[in-house]
Structure 1
Amino acid sequence: MNLTDAELVIMNLLWEKGELKANQISDYMISEKDWKKNTTYTLINRLIKKQAIERSDPGFVCKPLIEVEEVRIKETKLLLEKIYQGSFKLLVQNFIQSEEISNAEINEIKKMIEEVKHNE
């Protein structure tokens, strides 16, 4: 399932809150993102059609049907293919060279790799 950046904004809100009424989502997007009400409802309807969320009565309560981790994995794979030709090594190398990764994060990643190696 491909989600647009705008759809991800709504999904992130729902993942954070669990479930919200459609008008609560709209009010948030109006105040925080300067979106129009119709834009929000259009995006909600697209997410329903994609089976990313469900809306139930009464009150048009929206809740996510997909997990954030599922989307993160898919989006990471898409990024890996699109930008790094499928090379995880190039992705990691880019982050390390960009100096946007801290030593603490590097150590955490090392620990994660060691855990995977030990579980094989």
Structure 2
Amino acid sequence: MNKTENITDSEIIVMKVIWKKERCTAAKIIAEVSKNSDWHFRTIKTLLRNLVKKEVVGYDIDEHDSRIYHYFPLISEEDYLRQERENFTDLYYDGNVGAVVAGFLKDTKLSKYELQDLKRILNNCLGGEKSKNE
């Protein structure tokens, strides 16, 4: 995926189904997306076609029925999210990851579990060193 060619919010809804299913037909994608939206099936097919054009979704044709296409992701969800985090950090924080984390921490109330998990992650990032406050 080209860094400048972003996936739209609507396309992300379709991608989430494809990431979850890993390989599925347009009919399954339409059924899944339709559970939470009132989009017409043609809208969903257009979004799917856009994702193929952006080369984030691939497809192959069913060996028994040439009218059926099986869609699959060409980029993992984690790789996509990593790229989006990098783009966000570069665009809004001039690449300063610490400022991003500090901003989220300042604006968000974390549960005790989330705080413990964050401490564990930070500890791992520091190579297992214990902080002075622990």
TM-score tier (shorter): 0.7 to 0.9
Q: Which runs of 5+ in 2 are unaligned?
A: 63-67, 129-134
Q: 1:45, CA displacement in angstroms?
A: 0.9
Question: What residue is the counterpart of 1:96 in the other structure?
Answer: 105
TM-score, normalised relative to structure 1 = 0.86
Length, aligned pairs only = 119
Q: Percent identity?
A: 25
Distance 2:35 2:112 in 1: 37
Question: What residue is the counterpart of 1:19 in the other structure?
Answer: 23
CA contact (8 A) 2:17 2:33 kept: no
Distance 1:99 1:49 in 2: 37
Question: Could you say which structure has the larger radius of gyration?
Answer: 2
Distance 2:69 2:18 in 1: 14
Amino acid at match of 1:78: N
1:73 aligns with 2:79: no
CA contact (8 A) 1:95 1:101 kept: no
TM-score, normalised relative to structure 2 = 0.78
Distance 1:31 1:109 in 2: 34
Greater fraction helix? 1
Question: What residue is the counterpart of 2:132 in the other structure?
Answer: none
Q: 1:77, CA displacement in angstroms?
A: 1.2
Question: What residue is the counterpart of 2:65 in the other structure?
Answer: none
1:6-45 pair list within 5 angstroms: 6-45=10-49
Post-superposition CA distance 1:70-111 (Å, at most 9, x none): 001011112212333322122111222123322322222222
1:109 aligns with 2:113: no
Describe the shift of the 1:82–1:103 C-alpha distance in structure 2 as closer, same or farther (beyond 3 A).
Answer: farther
